Amino acid sequence: MWHDRSTAASGERQPVPTSCLYQLESSPDFQCPHAAENDSYCVFHKPKSTKTEIDSAEIAHRRYLRKLNQRFQDRVLQLIREQELNESVASCDLRGFHFGDLLVYDQTFTKPVDLTDARFTGDARFQNVVFERKLEFAFASFDHQLTFQGCVVEDDLGMESCAFRGPVMFASSKFKGANFSGARFEGTTYFTNCDFEAYVIFDRVGFGEKSKVQFSCVEGSRPSFRKEISFCDLRLSEGCTVTLEKVSLSKARFLDTNVEVFDFRDVVWAQRPRSWRTLFLGKRCLWDEIRPLNTIPLRIGGLDYEKTAENYRQLVLNHERKRDFEAAEEFHLGEMEMLRKKRGEGAKRFGKLMKEWLNAYGLYRLLSVYGTSYWWAIGVLGLLVLLFGLVFMWSGFWVVEGDGSRRIIMYVLSCEPARWAVGSASWFRDLAEAVVFSISPLTLQRGRFYEPNGLLTRFLYSVATLFLAAQLALVLLAIRRRFKR
């Protein structure tokens, strides 16, 4: 395979280039250091027979092709060992290599391994392999199965813009960080019991129509993602499925990704910090709400309220479809919070605070926690009744007694002790009358037991009727929302 030389029809030997002419697409300045063979390529860059071609060949030829593939594997491993032992070589340079089957077991690589633009026409399997430095597969293509079983990559794993046309299995392996941005998955993909210690990037990853992707951990194992994981701008084809089961998404980002079609199973979400500002807002939230998008490597930016609200909206629909109404309600709260905070976008300090709260969303939260808490809404209703009762004690109103006589209740604010001629018992009794006067328009009574005193009280009575009716509607809406779910 490595020593054949092409011969012309006349039998004359043709000139063969002394160096390989392979061009690396991702690096135009690349120069292969290996000697060329009869087709202008070295043995490492020469295209290999595909797995389909080998399996469909006649028995004798099939054995021959498999023998050549095994000899090629041995030569690759020999080259790696030579580069490992050569102190003048900084990394194991396997860029652009064309592999058939590649099976690596129980090996340790102490130098970075660079497989940029590599082509795998057969199965690639790494089992119980330790990579002490970076492992780079950028722009590589895998025509058949790729397997990482029990491997350890102590540095970063680079899988940018890779093409996975066959099944992919990452099982019981440990990685520092991983970058799959721009990759394309066409088949079944499993990340099972994998441990990522640093950042993981799946931005702009594409999934084919028949692809099935699952991230899962067994019960009691460590979370898959210890640091930030980015699923931003995923390209999901119709028919593909993405499942996340028993993994930690406490630092996951989903901007520009439709998470409505995801299947979340017993995952751990980010926890909203507890304070008076987040009272009644629920615990579950998205990492984008807690930490702006400016800390994960290779990405910069800030909190995008609109896109985060869109993710919350998709999660609401996702969990409502599964009848997980508790989670759906907490994500609904997150959506409303993002829309409220968006009103203060671009403002500074006090102006930002004012714009965030002085809007319809801010009022909706203050009155009923976005229609989700009927207890809070009832409390606000009681507070409004008490407040208007105190106002009516100041503006004055008439109490119509049972015999038809009337008496006025009207208090004057004064700092003079002599003006305080009413005892506490009488004051509280008058306050009770004022409270009943406040809620009288809501009771739809035919009889009139109270009458406003003057134009000011009539105006305040109309305002009270409007506010209390609106708040009562919010109470009923919150109760309906709760029992409907």
**pLDDT tens digits, residue range 153-205?**
999 999 999 999 999 999 999 999 999 999 999 999 999 999 999 899 999 99
Which pLDDT band, with edges at 50, 70 and 90, does 6 fall under? very low
Q: Is the pLDDT of residue 258 over 90?
A: yes
What is the structure's pLDDT at 476? 93
Q: Is the pLDDT of residue 451 over 90?
A: no
CA 299 to chain centre: 14
Which pLDDT band, with edges at 50, 70 and 90, does 79 fall under? confident
CB contact at 8 A, 288 and 308: yes
Mean pLDDT, rounded, for 356-370: 91
Q: Is the pLDDT of residue 419 over 70?
A: no
Q: Is the pLDDT of residue 152 over 90?
A: yes
423's tokens: 């005892």
CB contact at 8 A, 344 and 352: yes
182's tokens: 């721009």
What is the structure's pLDDT at 291? 81
Q: Is the pLDDT of residue 300 over 50?
A: no
What is the structure's pLDDT at 238? 87
- Mean pLDDT (the chain) is 85
Size of the chain, expressed as the number of residues it contains? 485
Q: Is the pLDDT of residue 46 over 90?
A: no
Nearest partner of 199 among 231, 242, 151, 243, judged by Cα: 231
DSSP 84-127: HH-TT--SEE-TT-EES-EEEES-EE-S-EE-TT-EESS-EEEE
- Whole-number CA gyration radius for the chain: 36
What pLDDT, in 10s, does the model give residues 222-233?
567 888 899 999
Which pLDDT band, with edges at 50, 70 and 90, does 392 fall under? very high
Q: Please state, in angstroms and rounded to a whole number, the distance separating the CA atoms of residues 271 and 250.
A: 7
Tokens 């030389």 map to which residue?
5
Q: Please state, in angstroms and rounded to a whole number, the distance separating the CA atoms of residues 148 and 174.
A: 10
What pLDDT, in 10s, does the model give residues 108-151?
999 999 999 999 988 999 999 999 999 999 999 999 999 999 99
Q: Please state, in angstroms and rounded to a whole number, the distance separating the CA atoms of residues 104 and 377.
A: 64
What pLDDT, in 10s, does the model give residues 335-352?
999 999 888 887 888 888
CB contact at 8 A, 48 and 98: yes
Q: What are phi and psi of 150, to 5 degrees?
A: 65, 30
Q: Say which residues have a Cβ less than 8 Å from residue 300's Cβ, sequence separation at least 6.
A: 293, 294
298's tokens: 């290779």
Q: What are phi and psi of 152, to 5 degrees?
A: -130, 120
User: Beta 397-400 vs 406-409: how paired, if at all?
Assistant: antiparallel
What is the structure's pLDDT at 447? 54
Which pLDDT band, with edges at 50, 70 and 90, does 445 fall under? low
Q: Which of 50-64, 113-127, 277-291 has the lowest mean pLDDT?
A: 50-64
Mean pLDDT, rounded, for 302-328: 90
CA 359 to chain centre: 28
Between 187 and 37, where is the model more confident?
A: 187
Q: In DSSP terms, which residues pair with 269 in a beta bridge?
A: 249
What is the structure's pLDDT at 102? 86
Q: Is the pLDDT of residue 5 over 50?
A: no
Which pLDDT band, with edges at 50, 70 and 90, does 353 fall under? confident
Mean pLDDT, rounded, for 411-438: 78
Nearest partner of 165 among 182, 179, 184, judged by Cα: 184
Q: Please state, in angstroms and rounded to a whole number, the distance separating the CA atoms of residues 436 and 471.
A: 17
- In which region does residue 271 sit, left (phi positive, over 0), alpha (psi from -120 to 50) or beta (all else)? beta
Identify residue 371 by its one-letter amino acid code: G
Q: Is the pLDDT of residue 93 over 60?
A: yes
**If you ran DSSP here, which 8-state letter would residue 261 be given?**
G
CB contact at 8 A, 159 and 204: no
What is the structure's pLDDT at 274? 81
